[in-house]
Structure 1
């Protein structure tokens, strides 16, 4: 069982028919003794999901908000994840996936950019990382990658 946020616990108590007043008292007490700590939950969630699944800040923020973590707490937890770390994780994901992905360079490019987009990476970063990885892979992929302008593609996305 994983740790839960205050909002998740409140929802679970409400589902069991516990009154809002009683639920608030119990959750306040849990908060006092340190059994509920949304900030610690958010930091652990960001670390775990970024390193384990390779999720970017945008996806992580969305997941935390869905679990009822406050916006400022989400921002604080994501502050530990800088641009360089996010780019390095994107590169590692693409390198790992590129080894086993087959097809024309166009379809491989599209699949890899799509994979990064689903994990919450910004379009510009996704295009650039995939282009660089494909250029380093093979002559055919490098030739295709040379014809790709990641900045122009990212501008089209916005």
Structure 2
């Protein structure tokens, strides 16, 4: 614009619109091009964000808005990401549940709370957590933890393991049953 810098566009927008150096653009064309460029930038940021791990739609929206993208740009990016099957709250919730069950077993209650904090809808959460077995998850969490330490007496095992399982959202009855089971498997009698 008169030999001065006016705005920048990504290479993808320039190529897609077949723009040339020196080409004159109307104000309306500039607005459309910069809007398209913002969408491309938002998508690029979203791809990077999704590259680390799957995300909920709410997490992605919040992150893109914090990065300064307008709500309508974020909406358009979300639509595009859904079409590409890169953003799906049901698949994300299932991934989260399976990941938690495999690597850091937690209770159904705590998994539900984590998904809720990530903005997943309640009906999706309920579909996903309905099959979780707190007894099994508590037992697997206890096995993972007790491999690293071996309290010799029942009270110490009960306190340490009970605290650990409580932080993972398990109920008192589940914790008691799990502690007793671990103690029995170690060849000890009743505590």
Shorter-chain TM-score: what band?
0.7 to 0.9
Q: Say whether the 8 Å CA contact 2:139–2:178 is kept in structure 1.
A: yes
Which stretches in structure 1 are left out of the alignment for 5+ residues? Answer: 145-158
- Return the alpha-carbon distance in structure 1 between the equivalents of residues 187 and 95 of structure 2: 38
- Return the alpha-carbon distance in structure 2 between the equivalents of residues 69 and 91 of structure 1: 27
Deviation at 1:11, TM superposition (A): 1.0
Q: Which has the higher contact order (CA 8 A, sep 6+)?
A: 1
The CA deviation string for residues 34-60 of structure 1, in whole angstroms up to 9 with x for no partner, is 221010010011001111111221121
Match of 2:137 among 89, 99, 102: 89
- Return the alpha-carbon distance in structure 2 between the equivalents of residues 61 and 41 of structure 1: 13
- Return the alpha-carbon distance in structure 2 between the equivalents of residues 108 and 136 of structure 1: 13
Once structures 1 and 2 are overlaid, which stretch shifts more, 36-45 or 26-35?
A: 26-35
Over 3 Å counting, the alpha-carbon distance change for 1:17 and 1:54 in structure 2 is same
Over 3 Å counting, the alpha-carbon distance change for 1:22 and 1:93 in structure 2 is closer
Once structures 1 and 2 are overlaid, which stretch shifts more, 37-46 or 54-63?
A: 54-63
- Return the alpha-carbon distance in structure 2 between the equivalents of residues 33 and 136 of structure 1: 49
Over 3 Å counting, the alpha-carbon distance change for 1:13 and 1:93 in structure 2 is closer
Q: Say whether the 8 Å CA contact 1:50–1:56 is kept in structure 2.
A: no
Aligned twin of 2:15: none
- Return the alpha-carbon distance in structure 2 between the equivalents of residues 13 and 28 of structure 1: 14
Aligned twin of 2:114: 63
Which stretches in structure 2 are left out of the alignment for 5+ residues? Answer: 1-51
Match of 1:3 among 29, 54, 58: 54
1:9-158 equivalences under 5 Å are 9-81=60-132, 83=133, 86-99=134-147, 100-139=149-188, 142-144=189-191
Number of aligned residue pairs: 139
Instruction: State the 4+ residue runs in structure 1 displaced beyond 4 angstroms.
Output: none
- Return the alpha-carbon distance in structure 2 between the equivalents of residues 54 and 24 of structure 1: 34
The alignment yields a C-alpha RMSD, in angstroms, of 1.9
Q: Secondary structure at the match of 2:58?
A: helix
Q: Say whether the 8 Å CA contact 2:157–2:179 is kept in structure 1.
A: no
TM-score (norm 2): 0.65
